Amino acid sequence: MSYIEELGTAAKKAETLMTSVSTKQKNDALKAIADSLIQNKEDIIKENKRDIENAKANGMTEALIDRLTLTEARIEGMSEGVRQVMELKDPINEIIGGEELPNGLKVEKIRVPLGVIGIIFESRPNVTVDAAALCLKSGNVCILRGGSDAIYSNKCLVNIMRAALSGAGIPEDAVQLVVDTSRAVAGELMKADKYIDVLIPRGGGGLIRSVRQNATIPVIQTGEGNCHVYVDRFADIDMAVNITDNAKTQRPSVCNAIETVLVHKDVAEQFYTALNAKWNGKVKIYGDETCAKFMQTERAATEEDYATEFNDYVLSVKTVSSLDEAIEHINKYGTKHSECIVTINMNNALKFQKCIDAAAVYVNASTRFTDGFEFGLGAEIGISTQKLHARGPMGLKELTTYKYLITGCGQIR
């Protein structure tokens, strides 16, 4: 039996046992995890230091080391996150539909866990706890495969969580860590459809594409965000500048930040002049000729720029002749995440919302609102950019499926 087969077999066993675990047990375990993270702060930081030292020796960039680092405050944040998940309503066993068929069969459609969820992510130890807590609350078993650079941190965190599970009478194999972080094992994991029901990659575009290419397990693709603001001919220019500023600069590294602004030619001068005054060089602009007349630009925007998620203080800008041109551009280059039109014209607003193919289509508001917490889901495992199963922010319900329970008294066809 290979290593992945061992993990998979243990996960399947845990999955069956999870069917008789109560909401109280799950909440007890989550509380114990939250408490135990605080109690074991020092141990966690000690193990995390080993990862950081290795990372430095391997020449990891400052930004990535920052992502990898766990401080006391960050551990408290993780603990608080687990407590919030605990307080959410248990989605499992909700009756979401049903009827009595003409032949007297009673059909109930009830919400059940997806089963075994594989989560592949980069070297961000906070994801380890966050993902496990969401899977646990939604009755799922998880197999976590984090980046090799975070292995000591992850081992420590997963041990803490497994002990908490045991204490609540939940099989500890409901949370498992892939400790062999070799590429070969990751490849085997992506094809372990016998054991794993769903695979969720959490990370950059490269990781997601690799999973999509190699997995035989159904994948939920999350977090690629090439988002746009379109400033319509009928835009309130102040509002357009504020929304563009917020959507680009409030937190440029996240997926719901924008990467391109499309501006109707009739308001180009007005908008570019106002945005230039607001930013004064704060954001690097790849523009076109019209834009360059009224803004400080770095250079002309290329096709490649339009397809790039900068995740930085960088923005592509394009002047367009019509709403249709804007829609066409967005549907061509967008990643179906979040798109915005600024306009006071109702017809244009409706047309934009109808024709744009994205999870969240905004009129007169910043794309930064596409988020599980903002949408009131209470938590978020990621933002789906595919159309199958779930779209946009994914909370607990999006980690479930359903089954039909049919009860009769001898009915045959």
Residues that bind its own copies (CB under 8 A): 15-16, 19-20, 99, 101, 105, 107, 114-115, 193, 197-198, 212-213, 216, 218-220, 236, 239, 242-243, 245-247, 250, 331, 349, 353-355, 357-366, 368-370, 374-376, 386-389, 391-392, 401-413
Between CA 4 and CA 391 the distance in angstroms is: 30
Between CA 179 and CA 332 the distance in angstroms is: 40
In the complex, the smallest distance separating the C-beta of residue 366 from its own copies, rounded to whole angstroms, is 4
Residue with Cβ nearer its own copies (319 or 384):
384
Q: Which two tokens stand for residue 370?
A: 């596409």
In the complex, the smallest distance separating the C-beta of residue 340 from its own copies, rounded to whole angstroms, is 9
Helix (H, G, I), strand (E, B) or coil at 268: helix
Residue with Cβ nearer its own copies (314 or 365):
365
- CA 248, 316, 267, 343 dihedral sign is negative
Between CA 410 and CA 360 the distance in angstroms is: 47
Give the largest CA-CA distance in the chain: 79
Residue with Cβ nearer its own copies (56 or 106):
106
Residue with Cβ nearer its own copies (44 or 330):
330
Q: What is the DSSP secondary structure assignment for residue 150, as one 8-state letter?
A: G
In the complex, the smallest distance separating the C-beta of residue 393 from its own copies, rounded to whole angstroms, is 9
Residue with Cβ nearer its own copies (137 or 162):
137
In the complex, the smallest distance separating the C-beta of residue 199 from its own copies, rounded to whole angstroms, is 10
Between CA 385 and CA 241 the distance in angstroms is: 27
Q: Which two tokens stand for residue 29?
A: 């375990």
Give yes or no for a contact between 127 and 142, defined as CB atoms under 8 angstroms apart.
no
Angle at which helices 183-190 and 205-214 pack, to 10 degrees? 60
In the complex, the smallest distance separating the C-beta of residue 253 from its own copies, rounded to whole angstroms, is 14
Residue with Cβ nearer its own copies (16 or 322):
16
In the complex, the smallest distance separating the C-beta of residue 410 from its own copies, rounded to whole angstroms, is 4
- Find how far residue 249's CA is from the centre of its chain: 20
Residue with Cβ nearer its own copies (60 or 247):
247
Between CA 30 and CA 164 the distance in angstroms is: 8
In the complex, the smallest distance separating the C-beta of residue 60 from its own copies, rounded to whole angstroms, is 30
